Structures are given as C-alpha cells and as structure tokens.
Amino acid sequence: MAERRSARREPRFLIIGAGMAGILSAVKLAEAGLTDFTVYEKADRLGGTWRENTYPGISCDVPSHLYCYSFAPEPNWSHHFSPGAEIQAYFENVAHSHDVEKFIEYGQEITRCWFEDGRWHLETANGETDEGDFLIAATGVLHHPAYPDIEGLDSFEGSCFHSARWDHDVPLAGRRIGVIGTGSTAIQVVSALVPTVGKLTLFQRTPQWIMPQENAAYTEEEKEYFRAEPEVLAAMRDEISTLFADTFSNAVIDADSPQLKMIEVVCRENLENSVHDSELREKLRPNYRAACKRLIMSEDFYAAIQKPNAELVTEPIERIEPKGVRTADGRLHELDVLALATGFKVDRFMRPIKIIGRGGVALDDAWAERPTAYLAISVPEFPNLFMLNGPNGPVGNFSLIEVAELQFAYIMQLVELFRSGRAREVSASRAATQKFDEDRVEAAKNTIWQTGCSSWYLDDRGVPAAWPWTFARFRDEMNEPRLDDFELV
C-alpha cells in the first residue's frame, strides 16, 4: 500500500464502503481539494445496496429525480421510479465522471479500526494497514441479510437464497417458486415473477397495506427536455423533495396527521377495489394502520397474487423440508426454489468491523444495549469517526441520498475545526447524545410506527429507532453543528 501521510497539514480520510454514501464522500472531498483519502470496499464493484440487491422486479420507490445526487442530476431516467440496474449504472457513471474510482480499493474488507495517538488506524482482511485523521463510515443500513430461524432451512433440496443474494443462475421459468416475506422486497419479487414462473407461493406472516403507485416511463421528449433545461430538472427535484416530505415523510411522524388518514383511505380502497375474492381480500387485510410498517408502493401486486398460478399461504410455516415448506395445517408446499425476502439486521451498521475508540472503548460495548449516535453521526469517545446514514437518522421514508448529502455537509463543518487548527479530535459529548436520545424516544411516541405493529423501525424495546421529526428539522439540524454539543480536544 502506498505511503499515505500527506505532507500538508490537511487531514487524511479513511472511508468505509463504496456505496451511495462512500461515492458521495469521495466526490465531495475531491471537490473540496481534500484528495488524501481512500475508499475501502470489500466487494469488487461499487454500488452498495444496488450492487447487492438484483432480485427480479427491483426498483426504488423514491422518485427517480430525487433518488440521485443533487450535484449529478440525471435527465435520462427511464421511469418515474428507477429500476435497480439503472441506479447501479448511475452510481458507476457518477464515480467515473467525477474521477473518484482511483480512490477506491476493491476487495479490501476492513476488519478492525482503532483510534490511537490521535489517529484512526485500520486493518483489512488481507492484513494490510492504513491510518488517517478521519474515519467515515458509509456502510449503509439495510446491508446484512436476516435469515429466518426456521427449522430445516438447510435441508431444502432445491435452490434457496436471500433476496439480497439472488442467484441468477437458477432458472425460474415454469418452475415452482416460494417466497417468504411480504415486505417491499417480496412484493416486488412476486409482482415480477408471477407472469413467468410455473407457480408462485407467497408465505405471508403479516399482511401489508399497499399504496397503488403507477410507474410510468418517461417519454423521449421528456428526457430531451430535461437534457436541454437543467434548471427545470433542478426545480423539479426541489418540487418532488417538498412534495415527498409534505405528503409522506412528515406524515409518518404524526400518527394523527390528515395526510396519513388520506394514505389509509387510499390503501383501503386499493384493497377493496383490487381484490375480488372476499376470502383472499380478508387474508390480505392488515390489522394495523397503514404506514405503521414501511408503506409498500405497488401497482401490480394485487393483480399478481390473484393470478391462477399464484397462491397466498397464511398458515404459519412449521418447518422446511427437502421438498418444500410444511405449514402448520400439515400441508407440504412443494417447491423448486425458495426465496427468503426476510429483510435485514438493521442494528449492525459498520459492524462486524471491530471499532475501538478513545481509551480502548469498543463500539460493541458502547452499543451493547443498542446503537445510538448524536444526530445519527457521532458517537461519544469515538473522535473523528462520522457516520452517514447512521443509527436513528431518517430512514425508510426519505431519500437516503438527500439525507447523506446533508450529513456530509455537516461533517465537513466538523472537519473544518481540524483544518483550522481549532481541534484535533471532535466527537459528540455524552450529555448531548443522551439528550438527543431522550428527545427522540419521546418524539417517537407520536409516530405511526408506534401504533401497534412490528417492523424493522422498532428496536428491541419496541421504540422506533428512526428520525421522529420533520425533514425540515433534519435540514435545520444539519445546517450548522452546535459546537456546545461536541467535545473538542
């Protein structure tokens, strides 16, 4: 590995992960003239969640012109909501056009990071080491697949994989496919597969509210217009951002909001009007409020699940056997392929990397109860370690790209303290972190997430671990750090 220390008094950055947030970091650092950094990527390709999730039907349900960087608008999105492969290509293009690929080291899985003598040190699985002044964790949220704890899972004789590890070598056409789960992923998989497979069996533990959401293609004329009028594209992005926040992101944090009531009406009507068989309709009817779990957008799921080759199974899964899934009614659902759309371990963040802060404190210990971070960015006693899309930030109902951009601009203001010589070590104070935590737990009581359903938003106490305030408040917070909340050394 090349000599890393810069002769200048400018900081060196170690960035973990070349997904959306890692590429953002690289572009922004280079733009600021801070070119002493390396992005460590464990895989052989950038793209993060969009590299890993390639399941049939994958698309993003944040509007395309919002789900892209503000500094890299994309006039050529094919649809109002982009397919996953297009988003992956977008990140590759941005990394290329902004000339940041040269900063990425692929195939380098970081195993350990430790803060010693005022600097961050790291070690990779290959035994290589590096050091720098700042450690940026751009490791994503929905990253570690959660495998269901079902008896006999390993005994299945067909092909079995998690949705985030889709095996494209396995043929699907005409075959019997089982899908476990009814989250955003499963709904997209089912909608995409029913038209091609022999039989699709969906194993539902909990039904979901479905918001009908068309996904029209942009016409060539529209794309041409976006290409010719970049300011129109920028204005449209702002408009979508405001609309998205007003109708959705801000609605979910107030369980009594009129927008939520409207969403509920739309979802109920969607169910009533789209599902014709009353027995099936009741099986698909949730007994909790819409958007309590992450709301699902789909224009074709209800149509798909009513096709003759689709079956919704609501009997609990008893075990998995070599030939298929045995449900509690004793029935064996014979399958060739079993897809586990069972979600992610959302409390891992940059772990399993061993992260050791000031005085030898391990992040695993600091987070022994649950992960937490001041404003989702900084952890007491972990100086100069900053997270993008860290714990308790806005997730699920926001454009994570917009969130990361705001966070990065905030982090750069903290970095400025170092550059100007005001502080060599910057981390949130314990008191400020505790206050932030108490405030968010209190505010979370008003959110739709805490109205009586289980979801990945909830921590082990049943408290929503997500940002419980408006997006405007997040923007305000990210505007300028309150230095009283930090410990500067």
Q: Which is nearer to ligand NAP, 5 or 205 (CB)?
A: 205
Instruction: Give the Cα separation of 431 and 476 in Å (integer).
Output: 21
| Nearest-10 crossing angle of helices 400-419, 471-479 | 20
Q: CB of 172: closest distance to ligand NAP in angstroms?
A: 19
List beta partners, residue 132: 120
Q: Does 184 bind ligand NAP (CB under 6 A)?
A: yes
Which of 5, 96, 168, 205 touches ligand NAP (CB under 6 A)? Answer: 205
Chain-centroid distance, C-alpha 101: 22
Instruction: Give the Cα separation of 39 and 104 in Å (integer).
Output: 5
Strand order of the sheet with strand 385-387? 104-105, 37-40, 13-16, 134-137, 385-387
Which of 34, 46, 60, 137 touches ligand NAP (CB under 6 A)? Answer: 60
Would you call the peptide bond into 352 cis, given omega within 30 degrees of 0 as the criterion?
A: yes
- Phi, psi angles (nearest 5°) of residue 409: -60, -35
Q: CB of 393: closest distance to ligand NAP in angstroms?
A: 13
Instruction: Give the Cα separation of 415 and 10 in Å (integer).
Output: 10
Q: Does 142 bind ligand NAP (CB under 6 A)?
A: yes
Q: Which is nearer to ligand NAP, 191 or 378 (CB)?
A: 191
Q: Which is nearer to ligand NAP, 50 or 418 (CB)?
A: 50
Instruction: Give the Cα separation of 230 and 218 in Å (integer).
Output: 16
Q: Does 290 bind ligand NAP (CB under 6 A)?
A: no
For residues 387 and 373, is the Cβ–Cβ distance under 8 A?
Answer: yes
Instruction: Give the Cα separation of 461 and 160 in Å (integer).
Output: 32
For residues 319 and 152, is the Cβ–Cβ distance under 8 A?
Answer: yes
**Chain residues 144-183 in contact with ligand NAP, contact rule CB under 6 A:** 148, 150, 180-183
| Composition of the chain by helix, strand, coil, percent to 5 | 35, 20, 45
Q: Which is nearer to ligand NAP, 124 or 298 (CB)?
A: 298
Would you call the peptide bond into 258 cis, given omega within 30 degrees of 0 as the criterion?
A: no
- Phi, psi angles (nearest 5°) of residue 386: -125, 145
Q: Which is nearer to ligand NAP, 205 or 276 (CB)?
A: 205
Q: Does 211 bind ligand NAP (CB under 6 A)?
A: no
Length of the chain: 489
Q: Does 291 bind ligand NAP (CB under 6 A)?
A: no
Sign of CA dihedral 157, 158, 163, 166: positive
Residue 161 buriedness (CB in 10 A; 0-12 / 13-18 / 19+): middle
Q: Does 343 bind ligand NAP (CB under 6 A)?
A: yes
Q: CB of 137: closest distance to ligand NAP in angstroms?
A: 19
**Chain residues 9-48 in contact with ligand NAP, contact rule CB under 6 A:** none
Which of 320, 341, 423, 463 touches ligand NAP (CB under 6 A)? Answer: 341
Q: Which is nearer to ligand NAP, 286 or 383 (CB)?
A: 286
Q: Does 110 bind ligand NAP (CB under 6 A)?
A: no
Which of 61, 131, 321, 334 touches ligand NAP (CB under 6 A)? Answer: 61
Q: Does 185 bind ligand NAP (CB under 6 A)?
A: yes
DSSP H or E segment with residue 21: helix 20-31
Which of 390, 394, 396, 464 touches ligand NAP (CB under 6 A)? Answer: 396
Residue with the two structure tokens 């790291």? 122
Q: Does 458 bind ligand NAP (CB under 6 A)?
A: no
Q: Which is nearer to ligand NAP, 289 or 294 (CB)?
A: 294
Token pair in block for residue 343 = 């979600």
Q: Does 342 bind ligand NAP (CB under 6 A)?
A: yes
Which of 160, 186, 197, 423 touches ligand NAP (CB under 6 A)? Answer: 186
Which of 332, 454, 479, 489 touches ligand NAP (CB under 6 A)? Answer: 454
Binding part of the chain for ligand NAP, among 59-67, 153-161, 224-232, 474-482 by CB under 6 A, reads 59-67
Q: Does 115 bind ligand NAP (CB under 6 A)?
A: no
- Please give the residue ranges that form the binding site for ligand NAP (CB under 6 A): 59-61, 142, 148, 150, 180-186, 188, 205-206, 294, 317, 341-343, 396, 454, 456
